[in-house]
Structures are given as C-alpha cells and as structure tokens.
Structure 1
Amino acid sequence: MSAKHARKTLVAAVLAATTLIPAPASAATYPLCAAQIVQHFDLAKGQTPESMVFAPNGTAYVTFAKARQIAEITPGGRVRILATLPAPADGGTGTPALGFPLTVGIERAPDGTLYFAYATGTADLTGVWSLRPGGTPRRIAALPATSLPNGIALDHRTLYVADSTGAIWRVPASGGTATVWSSGQELAPAGFLGANGLRVRDGAVWVTNLDRGTIVRIPVRAGGTAGDTRVVATGLAGIDDFAFTGRGTEILAALDTVNQVALVRPDGTHTVVLTEADGLQGPTTVALRGRDVYVPSAAYLTAKDPNLVRARLR
C-alpha cells in the first residue's frame, strides 16, 4: 500500500468513526437552541405567569396567578391587563394546598374566547371562567371550594380541567354543570399537588402529576367517557404543564421545582434541554408557535425574576 493510499484510508476511517459517535451536546442546545429571556414580569405586582396560549397573529394570553389577572402580550412585548378576577371575601386563605387565590390554566377558542380556571377556596368564585373579546369575565361552571382547578384544555365543545386534589372535570364550553370525568391514584397528590398540566391529543387526555413526577394518558371512549389511565412517563421531578412539539407524542415539559425543561420522548424517556442557566425561574408551562418555544417562569420558589424564555426547536 502506498503512503498516499494509506493516508486516505486513515482519513476515511476517522470520518466513519466520528459519524458513529455523536458529538456531545449541552443540555441547553439540543434539541433547543438560541435560548434567551425575552420578557421580564413584575413580581411586586403579582405577575407570576402560570399558563400561556397563542392567537394566530402571535399575541399571547397569560394568566398572572397571584395577581388574579388575565393579560395580553403583543408580539412586540407590550403587556395589557384584560381582566382582574374578584378577590374572595376571606382573601383566599382556604385555597387548597396554597392558601391564596390564583388564576391558573388558560385556553383560547377559535372565536377568541378565553377560558381559564380560577381557584379561591370559596364556592362563589372557584370554577371555570370565560372572557369574550372586549367583554368581561364570567364564571360558566362552578367547582367545589375544596377543588384546585389547574390545567385546562378545549376539545371541540368540551373543556377538560385538571383538579390538583386528584381529578379531571368535564365542562361544556357553553357553560353548565361540571362533572368528574376521571379520578384515581394516578391523579392524586402525594403531599402537595396532583393532577396539574393537561392537554388533549390523539383521542386522549394527557395529564401531569406534580407530586409523582409523571405523565398519564387517559383515552376518551366513544360517548365521551374516560378509559383506563396509563402512566406514560416517570421521573419528571416537579412537573407542571407541558406542550406537544408536533412530532408525534413528543413532549416538552416544564419542571417547576428544579428550574428545568425536559424533552419527553414517546417511549417515556427524557432529556433536560433547558436549565436555570438559560434563565428559568420556576417554569410553569411550555407554549409553541411554529418552531419557537416559549417558557414562562413564575419564580414561586426563587422569588427573583418571573420571566419569559424563548428558544428555537431544531
């Protein structure tokens, strides 16, 4: 073998080896990149973003939990308060697990109506509320004072609401009586909060359990009843709300108590893709618009910088 041919053989071998061994990637760059804080919120005003949903024009709608507010954030970053919910007479001290009233999950209908959960520990205010464009908020379904409504999702004319005391409620989007759709050990808390974030996809309701660090899937049967609950992912400490990436059932989940976002694969395994180094301060949810990933942080535990981080999905 000539020296020239030997060198070519060696180069080819090295190139082949490097294609077999994946290059190491930092948690903050794969599969997300270009993470940066794009908005800071005012902690002193109770601007702790709990949930977020986008309109087609790029306007975001968020719940500021401690301020009991629904807010609009324009694509340019201007924040406008759309509504402040009435305070309970006792200050909300009876709100389960938390001891303060809070606006929680939010969803948007195609006509622009916003649906959101409000937990106060009182029978006159706790429940599902709606806000039409240019209107005023009204409660469309009452929930028990002992409940803690959290994540919410709209599926056609039905709203599903995660109750962190251990259930999922079903509510007509037009308003009416709320009924318990599913309950059980997989949704129950283990000391603090149970069922938390909630999404509907592929004929099933997907719910997180903060205390248990799990994601569960509950099929919607013909006729609308709940099928058997199945745990599809575990080991997700402090999981709050989440979003599907659009690639099958791949999920990006906010891990509130550990200041992380995790990519959860369809087989249930996960990888941390954003951390406190990217600006996370108690992330509460994930919202996608195209390939842009938005992660609001409420800073419940850090009490430093409630903000909004944006990253790019590769």
Structure 2
Amino acid sequence: MPRLPRLAGAAVAAVTVSVLASATASGGEPGGEPERSDARVVARFDFAAGQTPENIALERDGSADLAFAFSRQVANVTPRGRTRILATLPEVRNPNTPIVHSAVVLGIARAHDGTLYVTYATGTRKTGIWRITRDGGTPEQIAKLPADGLPNGLALDEHRGVLYAADSVLGTVWRVPQAGGTATKWAKAPALAPSRAPSGGFGANGIKVHGHAVWVSNSDRGTLLRIPVRPDDSADTIETRATGLDGIDDFAFTGRGHTVLAALTASGQVALVRPDGTRTIVLARKDGLADPTSVAVRDRSVYVPSAAYFTMRDPNLVVARLPWRAG
C-alpha cells in the first residue's frame, strides 16, 4: 500500500481546519449524554496509507463498502473485519481539487444488483461520478462534474433511475442518469452553499433520498435540509428540518419516518435527530469513534466509519445496536 503523499497530508490538515471552523462558527455541541450502546470497533485502517473512510454503503451479507478518501480506493469490510480493496480510482497528475488539493473519493451508493457508484473529486476532467461493478475491478467514469467543484455525498434513486451528488463548494445538488450521461443542476440555493464562500468551507455534504424528497446536510451551517421532489422530478422549495448540528457530515434514516442519525465529525459524535429537530447524542469517542464521517442503518444495527481527520490515528468502522424505536 503506498504511503500518504505529502500533498495529501496537507489536504487532510486543510479538511481538519475547515470543518473545525465550521463547527466553531455554528455554535456549541448538541447536549445530552450518549445513550447506552454495545458499540464495537470491527475494523481498523491505515491513516498513513490514506485509508480515511469517508462514506459507506451496505451489502446484503452485512458487509460494508467504504470510500477511502485519500487512497482513492473502495474497500469491502466483512462483519468480522476482513478488509478487501475492490477498486482504485485512477491517479491524477497535478490534482487541483478545491480546498483539499488532492484527488479524493468521497460519496458512495449501491444499486440492488451490487453495482457501486462513487464521487471522485480531482480538480480535473476526471471529476465526476464513477461506476464500479459488483466484483470490483476498473472503475468507469459515467458522468463529468465541474472541475472547480467538490462532489461529496452521493445518493441513488433507482425508482427514478437517477443519482444525486451534493457539491460542497458550489452549493449545488447535481442530478445524473443512473446509466450515465450529462449532469444537470437540480438544486442550487444559499442554503446549500458554504457559509464562508468563496474563501473555503463545506456546504452541501451528505445526501439521501427519502420519502419523495432529497435530504442534504450543510456542514458549514450545521443544518439538515429537505428538498421535495415535484411530480415532474424538479426540485421544490428547500425546507430546513434541523439546525445547530455542528460539523455535520453524512447521515442515515432510522426507518420510514424522519428520524435521522447524523455524523458530527468535529465533535466525534453521532446524534439522533428527531423529526421536530431536537437531538440526543447516542455515540461518542468513548464508543470508539474517531471523527465519524457517515452512518448506515440496517434493522437495529448502526455502522459508523471514522476517518480520523482530527486525531490522525485509528480510522475505523464501528458497529452498534442502539435502544431506540425506529421512526
């Protein structure tokens, strides 16, 4: 495994500073003591090799597919913690990605047939959405996105046959046919933009399709947003569903309702966010988290990857079963 290059190391530091600034600007941390859990670290990764897990998709067998941001890789982790590299995104000469300045794999989504889709940000024409077959192998670019953007979270709506990508720098949600093709600007608004643009910062970050709407987190603003999908598939007016989620990254729904588990990277916590916007901390550093970046839920099991952007040690995958009623 190649060592993390000096440029990528500087990029990790840039991410750290930017997210810390976002958390400081948006106020204090959500209150409340973590609820009881039986959290355990099922796999640990190599920070120096760029194995910083940024996002997650679950397989039917209970294994997890992870996007390793700075190693440009997608890996599968079994329930027993065995890690296998599925694919590596192509190296980019002189990457010029906004904020991070390195080529990074960020979002990941899985189709029912096992096909994986990832966002790849490079600052070049290779920036876009890439497809990986269920058996891994050589990734294929299926859509280009602006080189001056930072495509981050990725969500798949198989019913409509489209992918949605959240651009953290351009404050945009891009819509791309699942089969590949031209990206269209589906939603763009101040609520999606970084609060410190154009000097840097992360706006739209995590993204999910849920309940006839596209939900997006804004890291700079500490908000959780809902964008209803109109009958003609266009974006309706953006609704703010929760605020004060300092340093929020990606998130997941606990069930068919609107209760969310959100990764709060800067504070090293996971918050349970209720439909009325109130929240409780349910996982923290004492549970093994090392700067969590995303969440996935299956039944009562919660999977939380940590990239260790601040601690710079012990990036890992934590699995827990928490005592809440899904809603």
TM-score by length of 2: 0.85
Query: The residue matched to 2:39 in structure 1 has which SS?
Result: strand
The residue aligned with 1:144 is: 146
- 2:55 pairs with 1:51: yes
CA distance in structure 2 between the partners assigned to 1:77 and 1:37 by the alignment: 9
Partner of 1:153: 155
Amino acid at match of 1:305: D
Partner of 1:71: 75
- Tell me which residue corresponds to 1:178: 183
CA deviation map 1:23-42 (0-9, x unaligned): xxx73335xx1122221111
Q: Larger C-alpha radius of gyration, 1 or 2? A: 1
TM-score, normalised via structure 1 length: 0.88
Q: How many residues align?
A: 284
2:249–2:264 CA contact under 8 A, matched in 1: yes
Runs of 4+ residues deviating >6 angstroms: none
Distance 1:87 1:217, change over 3 A: same
Task: State the Cα distance separating 1:275 from its structure 2 match.
Answer: 1.2
Matched, 1:28 2:25: no
Partner Cα distance (1:227, 1:29) in 2: 36
Q: Secondary structure at the match of 1:117?
A: strand
Question: Is 1:261 matched with 2:282?
Answer: no
Q: Does 1:114 align with 2:116?
A: yes
**1 or 2 for the larger relative contact order (CA 8 Å, sep ≥6)?**
2
Counterpart-to-counterpart distance in 2, 1:242 and 1:288 = 10
Q: What is the aligned counterpart of 1:193 among 198, 202, 206?
A: 202
2:293 to 284, 288, 293: 284
CA distance in 2, matches of 1:293, 1:102: 25
- Per-residue deviation, 1:76: 2.2
| Structure 1 counterpart of 2:18 | none
Over aligned residue pairs, what C-alpha RMSD do you find?
Answer: 1.1
Partners of 2:138 and 2:228 in 1: how far apart? 35
Q: Deviations over 1:135-185 (max 9, x none)?
A: 421000000100110111111211011000100000000000001100111
Gaps spanning 5+ residues in structure 1: where? 1-25
* 1:163 correspondence with 2:164: no
- Counterpart code for 1:184: A
Which residue is 2:238 aligned to?
Answer: 229
Q: What secondary structure, in the 3-state scheme, does the structure 1 residue paired with 2:182 have?
A: coil
Q: Deviation string for 1:234-267 (max 9, x for gaps)?
A: 0000000000001511000000111111000000
C-alpha distance in 2 between matches for 1:287 and 1:194:
21
Distance 1:301 1:119 in 2: 21
How far, CA to CA, are the matches of 2:111 and 2:33 in structure 1? 35
For 1:226 and 1:289, locate their aligned partners in 2 and report how far apart those are by CA, in whole Å. Answer: 28
**Unpaired runs of at least 5, structure 2:** 1-31
Tell me, yes or no, if the aligned pair for 1:196 and 1:241 is still in contact at 8 Å: yes
Q: Identity of paired residues, percent?
A: 56
Which residue is 1:16 aligned to? none
